[in-house]
């Protein structure tokens, strides 16, 4: 492992050629078909928050008209899924896991979980679904009748219930989500009294799940050793993930690692061959957000604990592509570094654009990005999405590791002449020019970001006159409102900082206003964040909403040289504006007697553009560029003092009882 000084944790842009350092993973044995021996390949694909190839993006007020796949909006994880062989008789298994915040019927989420989008709810069940799918795949190969170890009702019961508690007074156990049906299903795997596999939400305890998996792995190993069964002689496991799905993939590998006995899984030699990650964001529980007074979990609650996100040494190749220009508070990055060291089996590179410019998921023509005529086919327009480039590089890196990906499989499955891996020539040329304009040396994440923000500052008064605007006008009023409104937020933030700086130098108004807000926060810190969002748009309140580094960011933007033509072209033509398109409090809800209403119309994240992205390196401490992040341990102590004095806790904050 290579370690670096505290402030030197840069990331390089991916070279134009192959991903360096990929280790080819070849079979160590040749199966003897006359003895019914077989090599097993299992691919797992964990999609990102809100990403689901089969979902129509409907909400409580409107049904969607087409699935994400039909709209050519599916993520890079879904596109890679289509390229993985699906041939159980030949030993090839692929498992798709839809993103949190979308339906996932195998674990009982017929509709999106209410806590999925905001807090990562449902991730634990999805990870356990992946583990059960691995055991099911191995069991099917070894079973003479292609039997699964766990039928669908059992999988659902295991993945939507946690440990059952016993009440000696009533001689009863806690209820199950599916009632009697789940109790029957759990009984089939001797878990009726224990419950399902979900960890305890407060303590993080999952010892019952570990015991279950160990027991089941040993049972399957005993079955495989029987001479009258077909026999897997080697197992290769590959996992891919985007956003929270990347976090799930990392946790999956850690929990799977617990089942190994040396190099053996279920009594068979096994290898985690490849872990492909697009811009990992955990944000489980309350995400890291510097506009909040208390950072209770750093977005690493429950299944998203930092220890589960570290990359096990057992993985032969881990490739992580991160977004150069993402900086929303709700999307802190979990790098694959451990403190200041990059594990020897890991490769981390930056690509231009935002979170979904790396992991995919934008619709064609969204925000007017692209150069092709807007009347072009969706198949063609999909090829000029910026996310096609990291998709192509990930595909080639996986192939170099001997992952059995094939583009022809993806084309056949998608149908209609659609090639999910096609890259437009114009996009490829624009990226080559951008790449040439960048220094090949690695940079701090904030230094990649600052170039984009400097460009936004330099075009702040002409932003809505750029070529994308004419495309958007004929495509989407919502996109136009988003982009113009968010740019106005940038202008108002700059004005507020300029005014605030004068107040700090020559007036008591700023300090007086800040004192009022702080007094309120000390009285009820759980409401403080919502209070700041609701304050009138005075200079003082605006400054209270901005990130602590906003002054430094603005200073750097003003001193930055003119952004090169190549970089500006890629930003204006292909890179999306993730801040403009993300209104976390702007969702529609159907209310009784009222109908559909938006919670907080026009509510972008309060910190705006003038901030650095937070990131983690295997521990709870958030890091950024030349900014001291608040000590989370001190925050927890202060919050505990509040709990002791007020009589409510973190669980109450999530449930709303404290409010």
DSSP string, 291-345: TSS--SSTTB-GGG-HHHHSPPTT-S-EEEEEESS---TT--EE-S-BTTEE-TT
Is residue 613 predicted with pLDDT exceeding 60? yes
In a domain, 595, yes or no: yes
Residue 116 pLDDT: 74
The answer on 321 and 455 residing in a single domain is no
Among 398, 433, 468, give the residue marking a domain's end.
433
In a domain, 438, yes or no: no
- Pick the range with the lowest mean pLDDT from 376-390, 398-412, 426-440, 539-553: 539-553
Look at phi and psi of residue 96 and say left if phi exceeds 0, alpha if psi is from -120 to 50, else beta.
beta
- pLDDT, average across residues 567-587: 89
Residue 533 pLDDT: 46
- pLDDT, average across residues 603-627: 81
The model's confidence at residue 651, banded by pLDDT at 50, 70 and 90, is very low
In a domain, 23, yes or no: no
CB atoms within 10 A of CB 488: 13
What is the reported pTM?
0.88
The answer on 263 and 143 residing in a single domain is yes
Among 410, 433, 456, give the residue marking a domain's end.
433
258-300: per-residue pLDDT in tens? 999 999 999 999 999 999 999 999 988 866 554 444 445 588 8
Residue 299 pLDDT: 85
Q: Which residues contact 586 (CB under 8 A, 6 or more apart)?
A: 598, 599, 600, 601, 602, 603
The answer on 658 and 607 residing in a single domain is no
The number of distinct structural domains making up the chain is: 3
- Pick the range with the lowest mean pLDDT from 33-47, 105-119, 587-601: 587-601
**Contact at 8 Å (CB) between 102 and 50?**
yes
The answer on 461 and 418 residing in a single domain is no
313-334: per-residue pLDDT in tens? 999 999 999 999 999 999 999 9
What is the chain's mean pLDDT, rounded? 86
The phi and psi torsions of 248 (rounded to 5 degrees) equal -60, -40
Residue 594 pLDDT: 64
In a domain, 110, yes or no: yes
Residue 477 pLDDT: 87
**Contact at 8 Å (CB) between 304 and 282?**
yes
The answer on 636 and 622 residing in a single domain is no
The model's confidence at residue 36, banded by pLDDT at 50, 70 and 90, is confident
Is residue 16 predicted with pLDDT exceeding 50? yes
Which value, in Å, is the radius of gyration of the alpha carbons in the chain? 25
The answer on 85 and 71 residing in a single domain is yes
The model's confidence at residue 585, banded by pLDDT at 50, 70 and 90, is low
- pLDDT, average across residues 407-412: 96
Is residue 488 predicted with pLDDT exceeding 90? yes
CA 323 – CA 321 distance, rounded (Å): 7
Residue 657 pLDDT: 32
The model's confidence at residue 123, banded by pLDDT at 50, 70 and 90, is very high
Residue 107 pLDDT: 98
513 vs 140, more confident? 140
The answer on 493 and 639 residing in a single domain is no
14 vs 605, more confident? 14
The answer on 457 and 410 residing in a single domain is no
The answer on 598 and 633 residing in a single domain is no
Domain carrying residue 361: 2-18+32-433
The answer on 251 and 182 residing in a single domain is yes
Residue 58 pLDDT: 65
In a domain, 103, yes or no: yes
The answer on 479 and 356 residing in a single domain is no
In a domain, 440, yes or no: no
The model's confidence at residue 174, banded by pLDDT at 50, 70 and 90, is very high
The answer on 613 and 639 residing in a single domain is no
In a domain, 24, yes or no: no
Is residue 532 predicted with pLDDT exceeding 50? no
In a domain, 25, yes or no: no
């Amino acid at each position: 492992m290579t370690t670096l000084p505290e402030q030197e944790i840069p990331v390089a842009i991916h070279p134009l050629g192959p991903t360096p350092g990929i280790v080819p993973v070849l079979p160590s044995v040749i199966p003897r078909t006359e003895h019914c021996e077989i090599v097993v390949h299992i691919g797992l694909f964990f999609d990102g928050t809100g990403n689901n190839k089969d979902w129509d993006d409907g909400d409580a007020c409107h049904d969607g008209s087409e699935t994400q796949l039909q709209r050519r909006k599916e993520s890079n994880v879904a596109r890679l899924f289509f390229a993985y062989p699906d041939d159980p008789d030949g030993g090839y298994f692929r498992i798709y896991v839809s993103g949190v915040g979308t339906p996932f019927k195998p674990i009982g989420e017929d509709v999106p979980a209410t806590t999925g989008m905001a807090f990562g709810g449902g991730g634990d069940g999805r990870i356990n679904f992946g583990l059960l799918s691995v055991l099911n795949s191995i069991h099917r190969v070894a079973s003479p009748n292609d039997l699964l170890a766990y039928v669908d009702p059992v999988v659902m019961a295991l993945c939507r219930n946690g440990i059952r508690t016993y009440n000696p007074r009533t001689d009863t156990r806690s209820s199950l989500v599916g009632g009697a049906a789940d109790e029957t299903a759990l009984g089939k795997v001797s878990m009726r009294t224990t419950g399902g596999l979900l960890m305890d939400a407060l303590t993080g305890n999952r010892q019952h799940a570990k015991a279950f998996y160990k027991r089941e792995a040993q049972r399957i190993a005993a079955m495989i050793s029987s001479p009258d069964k077909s026999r897997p002689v080697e197992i290769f496991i590959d996992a891919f993930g985007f956003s929270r799905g990347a976090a799930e993939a990392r946790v999956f590998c850690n929990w799977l690692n617990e089942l190994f006995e040396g190099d053996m899984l279920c009594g068979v030699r096994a290898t985690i061959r490849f872990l492909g990650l697009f811009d990992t964001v955990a944000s489980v529980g309350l995400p890291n957000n510097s506009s909040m007074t208390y950072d209770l979990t750093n977005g690493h609650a429950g299944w998203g604990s930092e220890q589960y996100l570290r990359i096990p040494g057992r993985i032969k190749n881990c490739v992580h592509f991160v977004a150069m220009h993402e900086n929303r508070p709700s999307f802190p990055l979990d790098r694959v570094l451990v403190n200041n060291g990059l594990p020897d089996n890991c490769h981390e590179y930056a690509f231009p654009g935002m979170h979904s410019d790396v992991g995919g998921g934008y619709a064609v023509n969204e925000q007017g990005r692209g150069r092709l005529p807007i009347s072009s086919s969706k198949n063609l327009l999909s090829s000029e999405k910026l996310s096609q480039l990291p998709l192509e590089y990930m595909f080639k890196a996986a192939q170099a590791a001997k992952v059995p990906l094939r583009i022809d499989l993806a084309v056949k499955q998608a149908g209609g002449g659609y090639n999910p891996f096609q890259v437009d020539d114009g996009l490829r040329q624009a990226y080559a020019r951008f790449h040439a304009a960048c220094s090949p040396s690695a940079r701090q994440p904030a230094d990649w970001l600052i170039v984009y923000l400097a460009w936004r500052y330099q075009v702040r008064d002409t932003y809505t006159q750029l070529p994308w605007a004419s495309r958007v006008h004929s495509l989407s009023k919502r996109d136009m409102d988003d982009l113009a409104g968010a740019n106005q937020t940038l202008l108002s933030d700059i004005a507020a900082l300029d005014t605030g700086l004068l107040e700090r130098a020559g007036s008591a108004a700023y300090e007086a206003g800040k004192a009022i807000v702080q007094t309120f926060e000390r009285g009820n810190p759980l409401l403080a964040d919502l209070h700041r969002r609701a304050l009138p748009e005075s200079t003082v309140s605006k400054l209270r909403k901005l990130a602590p580094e906003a002054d430094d960011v603005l200073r750097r933007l003003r001193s930055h040289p003119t952004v090169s033509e190549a970089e500006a072209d890629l930003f204006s033509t292909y890179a999306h504006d993730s801040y403009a398109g993300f209104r976390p409090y702007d969702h529609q809800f159907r209310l009784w007697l009222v109908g559909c209403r938006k919670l907080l119309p026009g509510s972008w994240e309060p910190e705006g553009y003038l901030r650095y992205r937070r990131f983690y390196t295997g521990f709870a401490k958030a890091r950024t560029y030349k900014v001291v992040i608040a000590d989370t341990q001190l925050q927890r102590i202060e919050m505990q003092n509040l709990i002791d004095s007020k009589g409510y806790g973190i669980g109450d904050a999530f449930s709303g009882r404290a409010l």
